[in-house]
Amino acid sequence: MDVVEFRPTPDQYAWTFGGVAPTHRIAPGTALKLWTEDAFSGRLQRVGDRPSDVLDMTQVNPQTGPFHVEGAEPGDTLAIHIVDLTPARDWAASTTIPFFGALTGTDRTALLNDPLPERTWIYQLDRAAGTVRYEAANLSLELPVAPMLGTVGVAPPGREVRSSLVPDTFGGNMDTPEMKAGTTCYLGVNVPGALFSVGDGHYRQGEGESCGTAVEGAMDVTLIVDLIKGAPAPAWPRLEHDEHYAVVGSSRPLEDAWRASQVGMITWLGELYGLDRLDAYQLLTQIALSPLANVCDTNYSALTKVSKSLLPATDAYDGMHRHLRELSRSL
């Protein structure tokens, strides 16, 4: 297995999905050992840092990539297996940003209220204990580390260029805790080479990402990338773990994101088991879980998730997830 290592310099970051030349051309089956910068481009470092003073909002969510996958054509499916996510710093940051987050007025939910005060929290990482420390004036907690990637995406179709803050059919800034080590993410290819990139590492995040920022930190990322031909490309990002299948839908309002994920799972159940839409709809009604990903980005993201233990054993994409899991052991 070919292994490509890449630690981008700031001038090599991508800030969009689409519209960026690839940093590398790789063959299907390649392993990538990458470094990703945090969502703030490393600029929030102290409790006294105010986002309005130190952040450049044109330089948030820097991406590592994009990578051109040889042979990938529109209509194919890209399989990205997350082998390992390891915090690359001993600290991470979270903050409140004016008019950003789920529980404040925004430019879209326009109200006459003042913005919430800016405040920054710095989380110290204890690698031996596997925790990050939450500290408030009257409470300190050690929270388990649960590394994830906020952004995994490909170039969108039709020459579109989308901000790295946006989640949509191409993936992007989905901010789901399900994007963790052991997950295989399936994305439909829209342009030759797919042009996928990753970033926005979180040391942990609650479902919904209420205030709009997780425990944001630089990440060492190990992936294996493969290509699926001859199968229907998913309309929405699909995730597979050893225990679950999941589909991510992204839209506004939130119920439309949920609906997109539900329809996406109905389609996938049809492909896996030959069910017609109404039989799949009935089954999904009885077994679905609906975790939230984010309720703060330009589009909201919701998941529909089903347990493999409730379903007959089968192999999605001819066992691609199991194949990549086996390959990952050699890394």
Q: What is the 3-state secondary structure (H, E, C) of 37-84?
A: CCCCCCCCCCCCCCHHHHCCCCCCCCEEEEEEECCCCCCCEEEEEEEE
Band (pLDDT 50/70/90 cuts) for residue 106 is: confident
pLDDT of residue 53: 96
User: What pLDDT, in 10s, does the model give residues 146-174?
Assistant: 999 999 999 999 999 999 999 999 999 99
Band (pLDDT 50/70/90 cuts) for residue 61 is: very high
* Mean pLDDT to the nearest integer, 185-198: 98
Q: Would you say residue 208 has pLDDT above 90? A: yes
pLDDT of residue 20: 96
For residue 153, which phi and psi values (nearest 5 degrees)?
A: -160, 165
Q: Would you say residue 203 has pLDDT above 90? A: yes
* Region of poorest pLDDT, from 95-99, 170-174, 195-199, 273-277: 95-99
* CATH number for the domain formed by residue range(s) 3-313: 2.60.120.580
The percent of residues in the chain predicted with pLDDT above 70, rounded, is 100
Residue corresponding to tokens 């803050």? 165
pLDDT of residue 113: 87
Residue type, 33: K
Which pTM does this prediction carry? 0.97
Residue type, 184: T
- The encoded tokens of residue 253 equal 């309002």
pLDDT of residue 109: 86
User: What pLDDT, in 10s, does the model give residues 120-145?
Assistant: 999 999 999 999 999 999 999 999 99
* Mean pLDDT to the nearest integer, 174-192: 98
- The encoded tokens of residue 280 equal 């799949």
Which residues, in sequence order, are CB contacts of 28 under 8 Å at separation 6+?
Answer: 69, 70, 71, 72, 225, 226, 227
pLDDT of residue 212: 95
Q: Would you say residue 107 has pLDDT above 90? A: no
pLDDT of residue 331: 87
The percent of residues in the chain predicted with pLDDT above 90, rounded, is 94
Which residues, in sequence order, are CB contacts of 309 under 8 Å at separation 6+?
Answer: 243
Band (pLDDT 50/70/90 cuts) for residue 267 is: very high
pLDDT of residue 108: 80
For residue 320, which phi and psi values (nearest 5 degrees)?
A: -60, -45
User: What pLDDT, in 10s, does the model give residues 16-37?
Assistant: 999 999 999 999 999 999 999 9
Q: Would you say residue 269 has pLDDT above 90? A: yes
Band (pLDDT 50/70/90 cuts) for residue 2 is: very high
Q: Where are the domains of the chain?
A: 3-313
End-to-end CA distance of the chain: 10
